[in-house]
Structure 1
Amino acid sequence: MLKEVIATRFIAPLREGGSLPGLVEADDLGTYVLKFTGAGQGRKTLVAEVVCGELARRLGLRAPRLVTVDLDAELGLGEPDEQVQGLLRSSAGTNLGMDFLSGALGFDPLAFRVDPEEAGRIVWFDALVNNVDRSWRNPNMLMWRGELWLIDHGATMIWHHNWPGAQASAARPYDASDHALAPFAPDVAAAAAALAPRVTGDLLADVTAQIPDAWLADEPGFATPDDLRQAYARALLSRAGAIHERIQGIK
């Protein structure tokens, strides 16, 4: 399971993107970007963050370390924004935190260069998890200490919003024509040869084991959280072997 920390101070809301994360300090003295369980996107966004973030790191891609953050609703009583106060109250309990990369810059494809090998690995990974939110308009990548980091995977694995149609959804092609790294001649074939064999049942079992039970409970059609973990693993495993052949929009 992910490391568990307790939030000791709510620092500030981060008003970027479609969600409203916050910056918190925890009892391990770490500073984390907090994704709230009470946010409008719901707990499936947090599940996607865990699956994709942990899978990316195991495949050698750079993604911030994830933790679970226990949040006391009273922590934000001094926050003047009523929307933020409401979010803190509705998110008491287990939330998701990711290491805050202090000083990181948002990736700009006009300002930074990415070699074809790294671009190919990221495009292949995004195709695997069906990430529709890595466009040049909103790259969801950071440059930190001279290296490219992947963030914000809440919009991935669209099939988990409709499990009865998951098999058909997971079999669809991936359109990379709008991908932020499309201009860098991503070597997807080399990425598939290097990464696809590493996506095994054991690896995916380890990745999905990191999801807290509370975020998997009461899903229609699944008797236990472990049944749902296996569904996530099956969808990704079935996609890994041939998704590179269904990536569209890359020259």
Structure 2
Amino acid sequence: MTFSIAGRCSRTGMLGAVVATSSMAVGSRCCWAEPGVGAVLTQHRTDPRLGPMILEELKGGASPQAIIDGLEKRDSNLAWRQLAVLAADGTGAFFNGARIVSVAKGRIGRNCVAAGNILRNVAVVDAIVEAFEENEDVELAERLVRAIEAGDAAGGELKQLKSAGLLVVHRESFPYVDLRVDLNSQPLVELRFLWELYQPQAAAYVVRAVDPDQAPGPA
């Protein structure tokens, strides 16, 4: 009951993901990313342990498809899961478990991979990928938000959305953006609102952390 995309900016090297679902607090359970390593989405009867595990394997040099192939062999519960994995070089892979009985789809795009389940139609995932690819001239967080909005406009999920999350990493150990809507009747509207408030300050928050003498403002 989730649709999402992991993406990479080829200009900056930023990595990130955005997700929306009909259950609460999706951002804390489904999105994972590490600078210079990759971004991961784990959804449908979500196992949050898979996010850090997959990032560790990416860090060790395994490809997204090889990681998924390995999980299929050793994880007896993987048939319940849906995964999207993007490496730092922009290569991606997805997995739709055999026990997912709803309308579900994964698609690899240019520097991105999207997935969704319990969808109104498979065009949702296509719209997400195409919107991401069409917005290469804007920063990654904005591209991700536009992509998830396009998926919602194409039909979204069968159930009412209740939560959303946006995660972007860059050079530092902490996220460049980590915004979550944990419970809202219009979570993507709220996520857009939060991002537009956060965007003008995003770079300044990084400067405050790494070079406070150069940070603008009194705080």
| TM-score under structure 1 length normalisation | 0.26
More strand by share: 2
- RCO greater where, 1 or 2, for CA within 8 Å and sep 6 or more? 2
| TM-score under structure 2 length normalisation | 0.29
Report which of the two structures shows the higher radius of gyration computed on alpha carbons: 1
